[in-house]
Amino acid sequence: MRLGYLTHVAGSAPAQAYRDTVTLAVAAEELGYSSFWVAQHHDGHLDGLLPSPLVLLAAVAQATSTIRLGTAVVVAALEDPRRLAEDAAVLDVLSGGRLELGVGAGADATASETFGRDHSLRHDECATAVDALRAHLAEIVPAAPGLGGRLWQATGTPDGVAAAGARGMGILTGRADAAPHLARYWARAAGEPRVAAVRVLGPGERPGALLERWRTDPAREWSTELLVQTQPAHAPVETHLATLRALVAPPRDPDRPAPVAPLVAALRSGPRRAPVPSGRAAT
């Protein structure tokens, strides 16, 4: 199982928060983490200071060479799909094919209002934007080979997981109760299943406690990657660095094959879904 780190890029000053984020990414790469993810926030929502994650990840790409770079997540309904596809493609080329593009419907109602969108329609608008994004990735310049297969959907609901699976997208989820839906995702997803479970290290909590919880986490057997985030998000960079260092000390989960018995049971519950062509919504 892979281990990644997620930061909400919070702090008292944007310039320092951005520099600290680059520092964290470099440290994560040196420590052997598989991926490094940043969250998008508009207008300081949840103390986050990063409205343009692809721009910051371009700086991270220049300071690193191997670690995969992820967005967790870009709010797809608030973006122009072609513009997002072009910016993502440039970053992917610049980084040598390391971008993991995570998108979601977004939870910030104020941001929806600011962008002139109806927050209640965000899930449908996200699905429309994702289909347009996938179609654009197949035709834009610069070409970003493989990026269409490195798209992720932030969701934990039955419908969201099923739709992402039908599109061949990976799943980003912070919900332990998503495990039953992830079982069906493994059985029916188009392409290779990818599940990144996001788990929080609480304020003052020792990293070992997170690993202990993870061993009995219902989503663990369906996950291909564990993404850790430290709270509070605005903690000093030294706190984030301490988390990074502590979590690589214990033995990690070995790479495991697909969980066969549960997978067989899930397969018996229904047929495997065929891929949804770019530009068409799942039904």
Condensed to tens digits (0 to 9), the pLDDT of residues 202-217 reads 999 999 999 999 999 9
The range of the structural domain enclosing residue 224 comes to 2-268
Owner of token pair 């993502």: 88
What phi, psi does 275 have (nearest 5°)?
-60, 145
CA distance 37 to 7: 6
- pLDDT mean over 2-29: 97
Task: Identify which of 227, 161, 152, 226 has the alpha carbon closest to the alpha carbon of residue 188.
Answer: 161
CATH of the domain at 175: 3.20.20.30
pLDDT band at 281 (very low <50, low <70, confident <90, very high): very low
**Is the pLDDT reported for residue 283 higher than 90?**
no
Q: Is 241 exposed, middle or buried (0-12, 13-18, 19+ CB in 10 A)?
A: middle
**Is the pLDDT reported for residue 271 higher than 70?**
no
| Within a domain: 281 | no
pLDDT value for 176: 87
Percent of the chain with pLDDT over 70: 88
pLDDT value for 249: 57
229 pairs with which residues across the strands?
200
pLDDT value for 216: 96
Task: Quick: pLDDT tens for 17-54.
Answer: 999 999 999 999 999 999 999 999 999 998 999 999 99
**Is the pLDDT reported for residue 276 higher than 60?**
no
| Within a domain: 273 | no
- The SS3 assignment for 146 reads coil
**Is the pLDDT reported for residue 250 higher than 80?**
no
What phi, psi does 195 have (nearest 5°)?
-130, 120
pLDDT band at 171 (very low <50, low <70, confident <90, very high): very high
Please answer whether residues 37 and 100 qualify as being in contact, where contact means their C-beta atoms are separated by less than 8 angstroms: yes
**Is the pLDDT reported for residue 218 higher than 90?**
yes
Task: Identify which of 100, 159, 98 has the alpha carbon closest to the alpha carbon of residue 126.
Answer: 159
CA distance 41 to 36: 17
pLDDT value for 264: 45
Whether the bond between 158 and the residue before it is cis, its omega within 30 degrees of 0, is no
| Within a domain: 276 | no
| Within a domain: 277 | no
| Within a domain: 190 | yes
Please answer whether residues 17 and 49 qualify as being in contact, where contact means their C-beta atoms are separated by less than 8 angstroms: yes
Please answer whether residues 181 and 219 qualify as being in contact, where contact means their C-beta atoms are separated by less than 8 angstroms: no
CA distance 129 to 80: 8
- The SS3 assignment for 103 reads strand
pLDDT band at 6 (very low <50, low <70, confident <90, very high): very high
Strands 99-104 and 195-201: unpaired
**Is the pLDDT reported for residue 256 higher than 80?**
no
Domain count, the chain: 1
**Is the pLDDT reported for residue 189 higher than 50?**
yes
pLDDT value for 274: 43
pLDDT band at 1 (very low <50, low <70, confident <90, very high): confident
Q: Which two tokens stand for residue 25?
A: 């990414």
| Within a domain: 256 | yes
pLDDT band at 278 (very low <50, low <70, confident <90, very high): very low
Dihedral sign, Cα of residue 281, residue 175, residue 236, residue 94: negative
| Within a domain: 275 | no
| Within a domain: 40 | yes
Task: Quick: pLDDT tens for 109-159.
Answer: 999 999 999 999 999 999 999 999 999 999 999 999 999 999 999 999 999
